[in-house]
Amino acid sequence: MLTIGYIGNGKSTNRYHLPFVLQRENIRVKTIYQRNPNHESWERIEGVNYTSDLEELLKDDEIQLIVVCTRLDSHYDYAKLVLDHNKHCLVEKPFVRTSKEAKELFEIAKDKGLVLQSYQNRRFDSDFLTVQKVIEEGKLGELLELEMHFDYYRPELPEASTSFDRDNSFLYGHGCHTLDQVISYFGKPDHIHYDVRQLLGSGRMNDYFDLDLYYGKLKISVKSSYFRLKERPSFIVYGKKGAFVKETKDRQEEHLKLFYMPDNKDFGVDTLKHYGVLTYIDEEGVIYEEKVKSVDGDYGRVYDDLYEAIINGKEKTITDEQILLQMEILEAGVRGLR
């Protein structure tokens, strides 16, 4: 049994972590720390201890793993505190503010023999897993280009900003999803072209990014904007012999927002209308077009991997090197913004 506790009792903990953890019979949630119980807005879970005494969480010998689900500006301090108390640690994304902070934390964890990891749950998005399946089937031929889009129409957010803040930049907040997907499957790129903008002008929020990552002949474009009234397809993959288009995103977040939980058999599952379309040409020159059944996603797989690493000593799936590379890319992307 892996016994865990949480720092933070907000949306992250209650929407994106607990629904998956509570399904797992080999994981026990013992304590949730909330700094201000007067601001409690989520229904308490029966059998879980809620406290406003951080020391109670940190000094509990039964708790092996502590999950940090707070604002980005406190990730480093809380993670260091957890490691200093000889606990394994999982940190929400973006992991920390700089690669320097990340390196320091990973070194502390390594010296203490502890598991430290970022919550890169989007590796287990249905659309991303389906793209992997299509690539590996080989019908696309040699890969030439892959486009990944994470679009919104939320102009009120950048319009309300009156200054630039790296922590609240669109690249940090959403690039950490898609960049991790690229890094996890394709590794370190040969080079990167950055187009990171403040569409409302200098001194305002970063609300747009378009990063091109190059792997030999293959170009992977990671694009997002707050001003997309009509979303672009989630994924478009081009090969020498075909193309795959996945219009819709993974549905886990959609269902979680509706409080439709993972204990439902059809939670996060695509229906026929959500399936992507594969178009390809065979050796005889015959062109085919077919719908591809989506692979089911499961954010809880992050916890399955952590269980194996902490309890059974297996290698981490989400590696330190991958997170450090992601942090370096995020830093470089916003470096010139003011």
Average pLDDT per block of 10 residues along the chain, 338 residues long = 97 96 96 89 93 96 97 97 98 96 98 97 98 98 97 93 91 94 98 97 95 98 95 97 97 95 96 98 96 97 97 96 97 93
Whether a cis peptide bond, with omega within 30° of 0, leads into 158 is no
Q: What's residue 251's pLDDT?
A: 97
Q: What's residue 37's pLDDT?
A: 81
Q: What's residue 103's pLDDT?
A: 98
Q: What's residue 336's pLDDT?
A: 87
Establish whether domains 2-119+302-318 and 123-296 are of one fold: no
What is the residue whose two structure tokens read 């260091």?
80
> Quick one: tokens of 196?
């990171």
In the chain, what are the domain boundaries? Answer: 2-119+302-318, 123-296
Rounded Cα–Cα distance for residues 219 and 278 (Å): 19
Q: Do the strands 242-246 and 235-239 form a parallel or antiparallel pair, or are they unpaired?
A: antiparallel
Do 68 and 87 form a contact (C-beta atoms < 8 A)? no
Domain 2-119+302-318 of CATH type 3.40.50.720: yes
Rounded Cα–Cα distance for residues 232 and 255 (Å): 21
Q: What's residue 329's pLDDT?
A: 97
Q: What's residue 61's pLDDT?
A: 96
Q: What's residue 22's pLDDT?
A: 95
Rounded Cα–Cα distance for residues 280 and 100 (Å): 45
The angle at the Cα of 123, spanning 118 to 129, to the nearest 5 degrees, equals 170
The CATH number of the domain covering residues in 123-296: 3.30.360.10
Rounded Cα–Cα distance for residues 58 and 163 (Å): 36
Residue by residue, what is the 3-state secondary structure of the chain?
CEEEEEECCCHHHHHHHHHHHCCCCCEEEEEEECCCHHHCCCCCCCCCEEECCHHHHHCCCCCCEEEECCCHHHHHHHHHHHHHCCCEEEECCCCCCCHHHHHHHHHHHHHHCCCEEECCHHHHCHHHHHHHHHHHHCCCCCEEEEEEECCCECCHHHHHCCCCCHHHCHHHHHHHHHHHHHHHHHCCCCEEEEEEECCCCCCCCCCEEEEEEEECCEEEEEEEECECCCCCCCEEEEECCEEEEECCCCCHHHHHHCCCCCCCCCCCCCCHHHCEEEEEECCCCCEEEEEECCCCCCCCHHHHHHHHHHHCCCCCCCCHHHHHHHHHHHHHHHCCCC
